[in-house]
Amino acid sequence: MKSNKFLGRDWIDAELDYTKEEWESLIEVALDLKRRYAMNEDTSNILRGKTLFTMFFNQSLRTRSTFAAGIQQLGGFHVDLEPGKTYTPARKGFDIPYKTERIKDVAEMLDRVGDAIAIRMYGPPANWIYGFANSTMKEFADSASCPIINMECDKYHPTQSLADMLTIKEKFGTFKGIKMTMSFAYSGSIEKPRAVPQSVVLAATKMGMEVTLAHPKGYDLDPQIIEACRKNAEMNKSSFKITNDFNKGFKGAHVVYPKAWGSVYCFNYTDETGKTVKKADHVKAEEVNTAALGWKTTKKQMALVDKNGYYMHCLPADRGQEVDDDVIDGPQSIVIDEAENRLHAHKAIMAMTMGGRL
Ligand code: CP
């Protein structure tokens, strides 16, 4: 009999697969682990002897450092399998002799010798095909019985959104009635995943906040995710609105989360057979990005939010483009609290899915 209903479960499409009550439980566990960390309590019994494998196909500071520190604080070990230094895990049709290894073989082998596999993949390693990285993680899940943890794919960043919900819970004590705006912010880089905004709007509507999504034309999120947000809002008797007006998104918000993401033109799209149905259009991507130059968070912009309102960003931020220094370093910014909470959120996910008994 399993000791808890989280044990062995994947954390890939977590905003869809875990219930609101399960998210609330994880936030409670994260808060408890945070308190125990502050009190210097020994938590090394929770995952003693357990091994976490990580694979980063993209760069990372926060996710990498907090998973490594977190598993160690829970008594376990972390083994980083750097793609390129191992044989790069590949899906059928993407094999390169003696450079790649089929995912099934990698996943089955790691499952025998460790307790969870955490993966980050989006963008170039997924050929900028929207959804490719998410499906890759699901291929791992098909071949491994241990939890697969999504450390950011091209659709979701659910370890980030759990830390974000934890941060909001700490600041307000509740989600009910909290007006949150996930907003686009300008960046000079046109190629970025849309995992963070998608995960944040899904998690925020799931938790029952009053959510606004603000973005310029061309930066629409995945329609399936928008639909899921509408359903969440309906279930919670809360709201989910979309605006193309930067100021309108900020006005009266208790929390603003302005962050750059890729436009609809930066991705390749395939059908279920893998056939390309639409290619990325970098000319259009540059055009819509230039038109969005004004979407920068300044002090003037922050004057629109509630007087006790907060500024959030998952980091890294493109300072001077997405946001001015005096905002991100200012009194309303909670970006470092948010980054610190990655540690506590990740520990909660690992403790609950890898077999801790709290
Ligand atoms: N926010 C976030 O995921 O940061 P890293 O890319 O540094 O991991």
Pocket test residue of 59, 61, 120 for ligand 1, highest count of atoms within 8 A of CB: 61
Residue-level pLDDT at 323: 98
Residue-level pLDDT at 83: 82
Q: Is the CB of 226 under 6 A from ligand 1?
A: no
Answer yes or no: same fold for 14-155+343-353 and 160-339.
yes
Q: Report CA(234)–ligand 1 centroid distance (Å).
A: 31
Q: Which CATH entry fits the domain spanning 14-155+343-353: 3.40.50.1370, 1.10.3720.10, 1.20.120.330, 3.65.10.10? A: 3.40.50.1370
Please state which CATH number belongs to domain 160-339.
3.40.50.1370
Pocket test residue of 60, 156, 166, 199 for ligand 1, highest count of atoms within 8 A of CB: 60
Pocket test residue of 150, 314, 328, 336 for ligand 1, highest count of atoms within 8 A of CB: 314
Average pLDDT over residues 306-331: 98
Q: What region does 91 belong to: left with phi over 0, alpha with psi -120 to 50, or beta? A: beta
Average pLDDT over residues 249-267: 98
Judge whether residue 3 has pLDDT over 80.
no
Residue-level pLDDT at 84: 80
Judge whether residue 135 has pLDDT over 60.
yes
Q: Is the CB of 289 under 6 A from ligand 1?
A: no
Judge whether residue 357 has pLDDT over 70.
no
Which residue ranges make up each domain of the chain? 14-155+343-353, 160-339
Model confidence pLDDT, tens digit, residues 64-99: 999 999 999 999 999 999 888 899 999 998 999 999
Query: What tokens does 236 get?
Result: 């919670």
Judge whether residue 277 has pLDDT over 60.
yes
Name the pLDDT band for 245 (thresholds 50, 70, 90): very high
Separation between Cα atoms, residue 100 and residue 103, nearest integer Å: 9
Name the pLDDT band for 2 (thresholds 50, 70, 90): low
Q: Report CA(174)–ligand 1 centroid distance (Å).
A: 26
Name the pLDDT band for 1 (thresholds 50, 70, 90): very low
Nearest CA to ligand 1 atom 3: 63
